[in-house]
Structure 1
Amino acid sequence: MFKHTKAFSGFSVNDIAKAKKFYGETLGLDVEDMDGMLQLNINGGGQIIIYAKDNHMPASYTMLNFPVKNIEEAVDGLTARGVRFLQYNEPIKTDERGICRNGWPLIAWFEDPAGNILSVLQTEKG
């Protein structure tokens, strides 16, 4: 039934203006205003809708993953833009920079202004 339908995902935030600034300026994504919502236009043609929700509850899982060729450069670049990486001890362990090096892929998690969890993950072994 949906084999030829182009699907997209969406998630909520508690402040559209903060989300627009974070996703557009901090992460450098193409963000489009859509009647009180945002549309992230992802490289390759994908789209993600972000909508405001008064009783927003951040996801307790990774909502959005950004593949990168070099996780060290990605973490450094985002840190320079004010992004703080999450620290985990169990069941996974991150280093002082927030990078999990236990297995593959290398991955580091951070939050958007609404508390949703995002990640950068290295797509190539270096």
Structure 2
Amino acid sequence: MFENTKAFSGFSVDDIEKARRFYGETLGLRVSEANGMLTLHLAGDRNTLVYPKPDHAPATYTMLNFPVADIEEAVDQLVARGVEFEKYDGLDERGIYRGTGPLIAWFRDPAGNIISVLQMDG
């Protein structure tokens, strides 16, 4: 039924203007706005809808992941842009997890949703 439908994902925020500034300016993504909602134009034609929700509750899981070639550089650039990384148990002083699996660091958007940058091997 849906094998030829170009599905897309979405998530809520409590303030579209703050989200537009964060995703567009801080993270440097191309964003567009229509009907009171944002579209994040992600690489690989993976557009994601961001919609306002007055009773928004932040995601308690990682809802958006950005693979990067160099996590150290990505963390440095984001910190320089004012992003604060989460400080979970088991992370280094910069907020990077260096255990099994990919190197990964988590931060939040202005609505409190959890986002990651992760360095994939290969």
- TM-score computed with the length of structure 2 as normaliser: 0.97
| Structure 1 residues 52-111: Cα deviation after superposition (integer angstroms, max 9, x where no partner) | 11000000000000000000000000000000000111xxx1111000001120000000
Structure 2 distance, partners of 1:59, 1:104, is 22
In structure 2, the residue corresponding to 1:115 is in which secondary structure? coil
Q: Which runs of 4+ in 1 moved over 6 A?
A: none
Alignment partner, residue 106 of structure 1:
103
Question: 2:47 is matched by which residue type in structure 1?
Answer: Q
CA RMSD of aligned residues (A): 0.8
The question of 1:121 aligning with 2:114 is answered: no
Deviation at 1:124, TM superposition (A): 2.4
Alignment partner, residue 39 of structure 2:
39
Deviation at 1:13, TM superposition (A): 0.3
Structure 2 distance, partners of 1:34, 1:64, is 21
Could you tell me which runs of 5 or more consecutive residues in structure 1 were left unpaired when the two chains were aligned.
none
- TM-score computed with the length of structure 1 as normaliser: 0.94
Structure 2 distance, partners of 1:100, 1:53, is 32
Could you tell me which runs of 5 or more consecutive residues in structure 2 were left unpaired when the two chains were aligned.
none
The share of aligned pairs that are identical, in percent, is: 63
Q: How many residues align?
A: 122
In structure 1, the residue corresponding to 2:47 is in which secondary structure? strand
Alignment partner, residue 12 of structure 1:
12
Deviation at 1:48, TM superposition (A): 0.3
Within a 5 Å distance, the mapping from 1:1-126 to structure 2 comes to 1-89=1-89, 93-124=90-121
| Structure 1 residues 5-59: Cα deviation after superposition (integer angstroms, max 9, x where no partner) | 1110000000000000000000000000111000001111111000111000000
